[in-house]
Amino acid sequence: KLILKLDISNFYGAIYTRLIPTIIMGYESAESEYRQSQKGENLSPTYEKYSKLDKLVRRMNLNQTNGLLAGPFVSRLISEALLTRIDKEIKSENIRFVRYVDDYEIFVFDDNTETTKSKIDLILRKYNADDPVVYDFALFGLGVSKEFEWYLTTKVKKFFHE
């Protein structure tokens, strides 16, 4: 029925490098290990490996933990991997969407637009808790006849459920 368009503003600049381990481990596991690292406790080999990558990336950016440099290929690779992790979480909420880089088109098939926005908001804020990501939602109706809207909605739903 509706398409929500979402653009994450300043995505590269908003990524915290300490989130790199979340790409493989998921947010909760990586966050738990991050807290352990702050206490000097033992860490998993996976976390240690991706923490080394975090340190290397920080060195490219004057040891800053916030923001990836926009030019290097490694920044594009890390940002795409992080967005893929975020995609996985959005899919787990049964939200249907397509994404190109940091722009999302979210398909809303019922009248729960606010619920869908809330779920996505929680996921995005989780991945940038220290400095919330600014993003914009734009809402687009299909603007077609009821019959065509039914046909299109049915086909899109079928596509996502196959």
Instruction: Bin 98: left if φ > 0, else alpha if -120 < ψ < 50, else beta.
Output: beta
What are the contacts of 113-118 at 24+ separation with CB within 8 A? 113/2, 113/4, 113/139, 116/4, 117/4
- At 118-155, the pLDDT tens digits run 898 889 888 874 444 545 555 555 555 566 556 666 66
**What's the Cα-to-Cα distance from 8 to each of 49, 100, 131, 157, rounded to whole Å?**
28, 11, 13, 25
Stated pTM of the model? 0.78
> How crowded is residue 55: how many other Cβ atoms within 10 Å of its Cβ?
13
Q: 71-127, pLDDT tens digit by residue? A: 889 889 999 999 999 999 999 999 999 999 888 888 888 778 889 888 988 898 888
pLDDT at 26 over 50: yes
CA torsion through residues 21, 7, 123, 95, sign: negative
Beginning with the edge strand found earlier in the chain, give each strand of the sheet holding 96-100 in spatial order: 96-100, 103-108, 2-8, 135-141
Helix axes 73-92, 113-126, angle to 10 degrees: 140
Task: Write the pLDDT tens digit of every residue in 29-78.
Answer: 999 999 999 999 999 999 999 999 999 999 988 888 888 888 889 889 99
Q: DSSP readout, 5-32?
A: EEEETTHHHH-BGGGTTHHHH-HHHHHH
